[in-house]
Amino acid sequence: MDIKRILQKHGFYFKKAYGQNFLTDEFLLDDIVTSAGITKEDTVIEIGCGAGTLTRAIAKHAGKVIGYEIDTKLTGILDEMLSDFDNVEIVFEDIMKQNIAEIEKNFSAGYYVVANLPYYITTPILMKFLEESKYVKGLVVTVQKEVALRLSAKENTADYGAITAMINLVGDAYLIKHIGREQFLPPPSVDSAVVKIVLNRDKFKLKSVETYREMVKIAFGNRRKTLCNNLMNSLKIARAQAEDILTSCDIDLLARGETLSAEKFVILSDYVYELRRKNG
Ligand code: SAH
């Protein structure tokens, strides 16, 4: 498949603003889909189809593919690239403007997201699916290497951050493959990696997602401060009260946000939630 020639034939030019960096190596693309564990039983949503190279690889393995692409200039190219497949539907829409519940009406049996994401909106896209989706079973996404390290980080490391704590609440993330910048057309200024996020919504029983999100935000609000100081500043409470909360949750008074596992964040947010309920 000579992508360059097809793009040229259709007079296509790359738009940086849309994060257009295409993957062309068929072995690599196949490898990504295989690592997602996609079978003919599965429905896959792809975000940002580009020239449809990954879309083709997904379509070979999956039962059905629904691809979202913002750039209508790719219409002719996608038509040509996907003409051998009858299990692909392309929707020319901005994924960020879609209502996930609406998309999921037909996929309540579960589906996967497989994508080489547009990097300028990696986090918003992931958060949208993690927070709004009821039926996504897993996401296999190519992202900037630094983001991949963040997503799959363990607590107590510099890479562990708010997004890690949000992912770990509903699942687990694994870095499964590094992809050098030279693999993309055109090559971006960063290296990439493939991350697999496996959803497990029953992992924790949580009283309030809002409070969890709030605690994560507070804990990473100022990484150089202790969690105790961040709680005092954000909740506008006295040191004694912040210390009381931490002691009740069995969290070290000198701990920083990045030392808290999702399990600890659940304990902390449930405690604060109950405290507020009791105090009215
Ligand atoms: N999957 C292709 C292209 C990846 S580049 C490949 O691997 O080769 C990212 C793609 O996302 C681009 O085609 C870009 O136009 C598209 N895109 C960017 N923002 C988008 C949005 N908000 N909604 C849907 N697609 C978007």
- The residues spanned by each domain of the chain are 3-199, 209-279
- DSSP-derived pairing of the beta strands 64-68 and 88-91: parallel
Structure tokens at 160: 């562990």
CATH of domain 3-199: 3.40.50.150
116 C-alpha vs ligand 1 centroid, how far in Å?
A: 7
Q: Which residues pair with 136 in a beta bridge?
A: 111
Give dist(CA 226, CA 78) in Å, integer. Answer: 51
**Which of these, 222, 144, 220, 131, lies nearest to 170 by C-alpha position?**
131
The dihedrals phi and psi of 255, each to the nearest 5 degrees, come to -65, 145
Q: Which atom of ligand 1 is nearest to the CA of 95?
A: 23
Q: Which atom of ligand 1 is nearest to the CA of 125?
A: 22
144 C-alpha vs ligand 1 centroid, how far in Å?
A: 14
For position 140, what pLDDT does the model report?
A: 98
Q: Which atom of ligand 1 is nearest to the CA of 18?
A: 18
**Which of these, 133, 152, 135, lies nearest to 144 by C-alpha position?**
152
User: Whole-model pTM?
Assistant: 0.94
191 C-alpha vs ligand 1 centroid, how far in Å?
A: 17
User: How far is C-alpha 93 from the chain's CA centre?
Assistant: 19
Closest residue to atom 5 of ligand 1, CA basis: 20
265 C-alpha vs ligand 1 centroid, how far in Å?
A: 34
User: How far is C-alpha 118 from the chain's CA centre?
Assistant: 11
Regarding the domain delimited by 209-279, which CATH topology (the fold level of the hierarchy) does it fall under? Helicase, Ruva Protein; domain 3 (1.10.8)
Unique residue bearing structure tokens 């299990």? 87
Element (H, E) at 26: helix 26-35
**In this structure, what DSSP letter does residue 203 have?**
S
For position 70, what pLDDT does the model report?
A: 98
Q: Which atom of ligand 1 is nearest to the CA of 119?
A: 9
Structure tokens at 259: 């030392």
121 C-alpha vs ligand 1 centroid, how far in Å?
A: 10
How do residues 187-213 score in pLDDT, each as one tens digit? 999 999 999 999 999 999 999 999 999
The dihedrals phi and psi of 143, each to the nearest 5 degrees, come to -140, 170
Q: Is 224 exposed, middle or buried (0-12, 13-18, 19+ CB in 10 A)?
A: exposed
Give dist(CA 127, CA 124) in Å, integer. Answer: 5
Closest residue to atom 19 of ligand 1, CA basis: 18
Residue of 4, 20, 183 to test ligand 1 pocket, by largest number of atoms within 8 Å of CB: 20
For position 1, what pLDDT does the model report?
A: 74
The H-assigned helical ranges of 138-219 are: 145-151, 162-170, 209-219
Q: Which residues pair with 174 in a beta bridge?
A: 196
Unique residue bearing structure tokens 């190519």? 142
200 C-alpha vs ligand 1 centroid, how far in Å?
A: 27
- Say whether 209-279 and 3-199 share the same fold: no
Q: Which atom of ligand 1 is nearest to the CA of 94?
A: 23
Predicted confidence pLDDT, tens digits, the chain (280 residues):
789 999 999 999 999 999 999 999 999 999 999 999 999 999 999 999 999 999 999 999 999 999 999 999 999 999 999 999 999 999 999 999 999 999 999 899 999 999 999 999 999 999 999 999 999 999 999 999 999 999 999 999 999 999 999 999 999 999 999 999 999 999 999 999 999 999 999 999 999 999 999 999 999 999 899 999 999 999 999 999 999 999 999 999 999 999 999 999 999 999 999 999 998 7
Closest residue to atom 1 of ligand 1, CA basis: 49
Give dist(CA 222, CA 209) in Å, integer. Answer: 21
The answer to whether 260 and 251 have CB atoms below 8 angstroms apart is yes
For position 186, what pLDDT does the model report?
A: 96
**Which of these, 181, 180, 133, 129, lies nearest to 151 by C-alpha position?**
129
For position 280, what pLDDT does the model report?
A: 76
Element (H, E) at 162: helix 162-170
